Amino acid sequence: METINYQNFRIEAENICVDYNGKVALYDANLRLKPGQICGLVGMNGAGKTTFFNALTGFVNISKGKIRINGESVRSAQKDQTIAYVPQNEGIDSQFPISVWDVVMMGRYGSMNIFRCPRESDVQAVKDAIERVDLTDHLSTPIGNLSGGQRKRTFLARAIAQRASILLLDEPFSGVDIRTEKLISELFIQFKNEGKTILLSTHDMIHVREFCDLVLLINKTVVAYGETSEVFTPENITTTFGGISPDFLFGPES
């Protein structure tokens, strides 16, 4: 197990900007996360949540600013298998002819040889990961035959098999059953204890209060960032969602 050094940041994003063909999707965004921290990323559709993830994984290039992952570049983070991305269910082709086992094995591709031949250790990592998300009965099930929750767990298992120290999760709780939701929240606690850093986007305000140490409210840029108890206020949420009150959006606050 790796040693947790709380002096160092896992993720450091400084004034990053992303634009697509001149259209600004995100500007002057900052984020710093340490090992063992869980941060919620909250914003409207089109507020730049997915863009933020894409910038951190290197899927899009930033036009300004700096990103450091474990003190190194995004490129070397990719090579070191540091970041795992768990897509939202809508983001993948559920009719793709591929089994649970094969999806989870894809988590190992980055550390295999060019022909992607699984070694003993890869097979073991995949087995363990599938066991942790409780899908051992579905090893060869095509992902098209899974429920939304099972599919979500499959991609979580891929992230586990990858042994990444940073997990980016796009809407991990949307469209999942109670059982999956419980399993994911248990996994979050384990990940935290293992010193992994988690950044998750969500629409669900209750989940933010429940899991997230920190919250990052964005609307093209950072609206507010800090400890959930301090930052996650009705005023900030209203600003994030363009003036619409959280009561209207999510029902009366508890």
Partner 1 sequence: MELCSFLTLDSFITDPLTHEFMRKALLMSSLVAAVCGFLSSFLTLKGWALMGDAVSHSVMPGVVVAYALGLPFSLGAFIFGVGSVALIGFIKQKSRVKEDTVIGLVFTGFFALGIVLVSKIKSNIDLHSILFGSPLGISLSDVKQTIFISLLVVILLSIFRKDLMLYCFDPRHAKTVGINVFFLHYLLLTCLSLAAVVGLQSVGIILVVAMLITPGATAYLLTDKFDNMTVISVLSAIISSLIGIYVSFWFDLETGGSIVLAQTFIFLFAFLFAPRYGIFKLRKLFDGYK
Q: What is the binding site for partner 1 (CB under 8 A)? A: 21, 54, 57-59, 75, 78-81, 83-85, 87, 91-93, 96-99, 102, 106-107, 109-110, 114-116, 142, 144-145, 158, 162
Nearer to partner 1, 6 or 96 (CB): 96
Question: Which residues are registered as beta bridge partners of 103?
Answer: none
Q: Cβ 109 to partner 1, closest distance in Å?
A: 6
Q: Cβ 21 to partner 1, closest distance in Å?
A: 7
Q: Cβ 240 to partner 1, closest distance in Å?
A: 25
Contact 150, 135 (CB under 8 A): yes
What is the rounded distance in angstroms from the CA atom of residue 4 to the CA atom of residue 9? 10
Nearer to partner 1, 167 or 217 (CB): 167
User: By three-state DSSP, how is residue 46 classified?
Assistant: coil
Q: Cβ 184 to partner 1, closest distance in Å?
A: 19
Contact 24, 219 (CB under 8 A): no
Nearer to partner 1, 61 or 229 (CB): 61
b/e burial code for range 164-203 (CB count within 10 A of at least 16 → b): bbbbbbbbbbeebeeebbebbeebbeebbeebbbbbbbbb
Q: Which residues contact 173 (CB under 8 A, 6 or more apart)?
A: 181, 184, 202, 204, 207
Q: Cβ 164 to partner 1, closest distance in Å?
A: 9
What is the rounded distance in angstroms from the CA atom of residue 45 to the CA atom of residue 41? 12
Nearer to partner 1, 118 or 175 (CB): 118
Q: How far apart, in Å, are the Cα atoms of 57 and each of 17, 44, 151?
A: 14, 21, 22
Nearer to partner 1, 78 or 238 (CB): 78
Nearer to partner 1, 116 or 182 (CB): 116
Could you tell me the two tokens for 99? Answer: 């089994």
Q: Cβ 102 to partner 1, closest distance in Å?
A: 7
